[in-house]
Amino acid sequence: MSEVLLKIENLRKHFPLKKPHPFAQERILRAVEGVSLDVFKGETLGLVGESGCGKSTLGRSIIQLYKPTSGKIVFEGKTIFEEGKCKHVDLVRQDMQMIFQDPYSSLNPRMTVESIVAEPLRTYKKLSGLELRKRVQELLEIVGMNPRYIRRYPHEFSGGQCQRIGIARALALNPKLIIADEPISALDVSIQAQILNLLKKLQKELGLTYIFIAHDLAAVKHISDRIAVMYLGKIVELSDAKTIIKQPKHPYTNALISAIPVPNPVVEKQRKHIVLQGDVPNPINPPSGCHFHTRCFNKKEQCAEKWPALESQGKDHLVSCFYPVA
């Protein structure tokens, strides 16, 4: 494996509640609870889980759109967050960028394409005039957009085109790490494949590193080198994409993979689908022990008493489970 670009140690993000919750002992929502990860230079780390598991909050905490509650973040050997304090914010803003989920709401409707893509260049690179316009046109061409569209507004484009504009803006400062927060979930299926292929092409050409956040394991499998599975604010399984898909160990990962449809009606009919009982527990008042034990098909008494550590179950395969699936 190549060198570590981003190192996260025991990261937490808690949101205080303005009003007391009837079922909570504390007035705290624990969105991210003790996540530790290494992201290697040039890889794509897929981050998957159901809605509300904390994956988007983790991404926003890494880039410090949300200030983490505690933990440590090291980027290229420099500590950018520790002991409740953010450091080197300018470094974070230039070398880490984000692609947002909703391509429409992430673009200012009152700004032209030129102004949207040029904004980070004006702020950090101090470009102006002809030099600025030339760079904006170049960025649009890189993402497959006609550079003559620079005077148009976001409402004049489709969802896929708006997402390309968002990607161009993210590339403006030549970042080293891009956090893609469900960048295809709001798009048509035919457009999703185009955006995924564009991201893979840009990674190869520009040497980018991605954290790709999604709840669709089929999409994550297509683009990721490694996959981390989150459940209720914690990482429950981490390995390379092939191992996660072919040999999942955690019961929750098994359930997610069983939900991926197979484009063969004969094979699909013979597959065993794992249907989880109940809903995702409330992060304000999570279950004791392993948070997944209330829905787990493989649980034992021990699971309700203690949280299982993230331990090795093979080469570079980490699982947080007392009774992993054989």
pLDDT one-digit tens code per residue, 4-27: 999 999 999 999 887 766 665 667
- Residue range 231-250: mean pLDDT, rounded: 93
% pLDDT > 70, the chain: 98
Q: 3-state class of 301 per DSSP?
A: helix
DSSP tally for the chain: helices H, then strands E? 10, 13
DSSP 3-state percent helix, strand, coil across the chain (nearest 5): 35, 25, 40
| 108 pLDDT more than 60 | yes
Average pLDDT over the chain reads: 90
- How do residues 71-102 score in pLDDT, each as one tens digit? 999 999 889 999 888 887 777 788 999 999 88
- How do residues 142-185 score in pLDDT, each as one tens digit? 999 999 999 999 999 999 999 999 999 999 999 999 999 999 98
CB 236 within 8 Å of CB 292 = yes
In the structure, what pLDDT confidence band is assigned to residue 284 with cuts at 50, 70 and 90? confident
% pLDDT > 90, the chain: 62
| 189 pLDDT more than 80 | yes
The dihedral formed by the CA atoms of 263, 269, 272 and 275, expressed in degrees to the nearest 10: 80
**pLDDT of the residue at 22:** 62
131 vs 217: CA distance, rounded Å: 41
The maximal CA–CA distance of the chain, rounded, in angstroms, is: 68
Amino acid identity at 260: I
Q: How far is CA 27 from CA 17, 18, 196, in A?
A: 5, 8, 40
Per the listing, tokens 């956090």 go with 179
- φ, ψ (nearest 5 deg) of residue 65: -70, -30
Q: How far is CA 5 from CA 45, 108, 234, 322, in A?
A: 12, 31, 21, 31
36 vs 280: CA distance, rounded Å: 22
